Amino acid sequence: MRTPGPSAVPLAAVLLAVALLVGACGAGPSPRAWAASVCQALGPWRTEINNLTSVTQQQITAKTTPAQAKENLVRLMAGAERATETAREQVAGAGVPDADQGEVVSRGFIASLTAVRDAYGKAKTSIEELSIDQPAVFYDGVQAVMETLNTDYRASAVDTSKLNSEELERAFDEVPECR
């Protein structure tokens, strides 16, 4: 039986490394396919968030007891948190687009949705912690929570000035799912 010579191990290591690199460089989805997947995830999410926002505004101004308002607002924030997590999972599941800046853009979308999800979770927890014993204090607390939510929501936006991928911009403009 012949044992591998000194050059056999390095050659095997080189071949393994090349195989791993080629496998790791496997192309992700095309820019159009990725944009379509992202828009398919974000479309229902936007609709759900808009609906929840509308209902939340109605709840804040409705003549309900603090206990009812608290229950409704916690339920609404939990729904927004779940909807955002679903969208985040779907965007993450879309993979990394095979485009210039694809990894950065993908990470930016996921980070933004993660921050939005966390903002809703934080708002839900903050509302849960509000005392309903004094209605005026409770509603002032709700107002403060909503202001913080809006601030956190704005802060979560993707900074598109750093995402310069002409391929992805074109794909988002062209695919029907994004219109």
Q: What is the pLDDT of residue 2?
A: 38
DSSP classification of residue 130: S
This prediction has a pTM of 0.81
Residue 124 has pLDDT above 60, yes or no: yes
In whole angstroms, give the CA distance from residue 108 to residue 56.
28
pLDDT digits (tens, 9 = 90+) for 93-119: 999 999 999 999 999 999 999 999 999
Please, are residues 132 and 138 in contact by the beta-carbon 8 Å criterion?
yes
Amino acid at 142: V
Identify the CA nearest to 152 among candidates 90, 79, 98, 77: 77
Q: What is the DSSP string of 51-90?
A: HHHHHHHHHHHS---HHHHHHHHHHHHHHHHHHHHHHHHH
pLDDT digits (tens, 9 = 90+) for 9-19: 333 333 333 33
In whole angstroms, give the CA distance from residue 111 to residue 92.
10
What is the length of the chain? Answer: 179
Q: Which two tokens stand for residue 7?
A: 């050059």
